[in-house]
Structure formats: C-alpha cells, structure tokens
Amino acid sequence: MAYSTKERKKLLAKFSKLRTSGKTALQAAGSIGVSYMTLLRWERPGGRAVGRIQKGKRGRSESVVSAATRMSLVLPGGYRIEADSATDIIDVLKALK
C-alpha cells in the first residue's frame, strides 16, 4: 500500500507516541499496522532503513558503536543489523526468530 506524505507523517507521529508510552518498536509498529522496517525508512533522510539487515563479511561477529551512537551487530552468517539502540537490535533479532 502506498502512503501519502501526510499519511506517513501521521503514522510516524502515532508510532513515536506509542514508543514514548513504553511500547517496543515492534509492538508500536504492529499496533499501527505498518512494518517496523518501513517506519525506519520513513524516519530517515534519503529513505534508508537504519535497522535493516544487510550482508556483510562472513565469519565475523562483533558489536560496534559509531561516533553518532549508532549500533551495529554483525552476525556469524554475515548479516549486519544497524539501529539506534541495543533494544532496537534485540527487537529486530526477536522478529527474525
């Protein structure tokens, strides 16, 4: 389903309100009926979902915090998960389970 800019802003505001009320990112996304990854993409300039999983170098497993306090987790299978907090990374991992 395609959302207009106005609809996206409204859904992002609702998502943010649910997050500040104590819901996890995945719970909040589920409550409004839009995937967590779509909401991440909408929040970011350029439309890139920071929490997305991307293929990385195989065989390495590490957690890195960048200068902008962004977190990355590279899994042994070569997948990379990036998010703003460890809680968001855990939410993504739980969703993948």
Question: What is the tens place of the pLDDT at every residue in 67-87?
Answer: 445 777 887 877 788 888 888
**Does residue 60 share a domain with residue 43?**
no
pLDDT at position 46 is 59
Q: What is the pLDDT of residues 17-71, one digit of tens each?
A: 998 898 888 888 899 999 888 888 887 765 544 444 444 444 444 444 334 457 7
SS3 state at 40? helix
Q: How many CA within 13 A on the CB side of residue 35?
A: 11
**Does residue 93 share a domain with residue 57?**
yes
pLDDT higher than threshold 70 for residue 90: yes
**Does residue 65 share a domain with residue 40?**
no
- Which residue range is the domain that position 18 belongs to? 1-49
- Which phi and psi (to 5°) does residue 3 adopt? -110, 140
**Does residue 81 share a domain with residue 56?**
yes
Query: In terms of C-beta density within 10 A (0-12 exposed, 13-18 middle, 19 or more buried), how is residue 55 classed?
Result: exposed
pLDDT at position 63 is 40
- How many structural domains comprise the chain? 2
pLDDT at position 45 is 64
Q: Which among 30, 28, 38, 37 is positioned nearest to 8, based on CA atoms?
A: 38
